[in-house]
Amino acid sequence: MASEELEENLSELQIGENGEKKPVENDVSDGAVKVSCFTEDLQDVTLHFQIVNFSKQIYAWIGCNSAKLGHLYAAATTRPNNNVSVTSLLGGTSDNTGSSIARRIVLKTGLNVVVACNIPKDSPMLEATAERKLVERLASLGYFRPKEKHSN
């Protein structure tokens, strides 16, 4: 599927409880699921992104030059110290591309995160670029929690 076709077919939309499509401007506090898709064309690769926001969870997919799912990771804060735990749901443990992205997104948003990523494991610069683009979009969509102010 070409980048333009993907962008055209899966542009930002919001799906309500009854399955009807609503514009993105609507409030998601009514239990709706918000979906955002975008494509970034870099010099030699095309990165496809899909972000699905549920009430207390974010699902993010990053595709590199194809629409394959890739490895799937889940990350969440764990008690008692609010550390972030990441586990591989699909794919082997030898390729951890995407697990660090999931961990950092949990730290920035405070939400549970599921990340699917098919970036080649020998491309750390591509992984860093993909994470930066994903973080930029998440920030523009308002998913980051405000910085906590420390009082003395």
Taking only the tens place, the pLDDT of each residue in 110-123 is 899 999 998 888 88
Residue 35 dihedral angles phi and psi, to the nearest 5°: -120, 135
Chain centroid to Cα 1, Å, comes to 20
Kindly state the average pLDDT of the residues 7-29. 46
Structure confidence at residue 70 (pLDDT): 83
Looking at every residue in the chain, the average pLDDT score rounds to 77
116: number of CA atoms within 13 Å, CB side? 15
Q: In this structure, what token pair is assigned to residue 87? A: 């586990």
Structure confidence at residue 18 (pLDDT): 56
pLDDT at 26 over 50: no
**Helix/strand/coil percent split, the chain, to 5:** 25, 35, 45
What pTM, to 2 d.p., does this model score? 0.72
Within 8 A by CB and 6+ apart from 87, the residues are: 73, 74, 75
Of the pLDDT bands very low, low, confident and very high (cuts 50, 70, 90), residue 145 is low
Angle among Cα 96, 81, 53 to the nearest 5 degrees reads 55
Kindly state the average pLDDT of the residues 75-97. 82
pLDDT at 49 over 60: yes
Residues paired with residue 72 on neighbouring β-strands, in sequence order: 90, 116
Structure confidence at residue 23 (pLDDT): 43
CA–CA dist 28, 30 (Å, integer): 5
Higher pLDDT, 53 or 1: 53
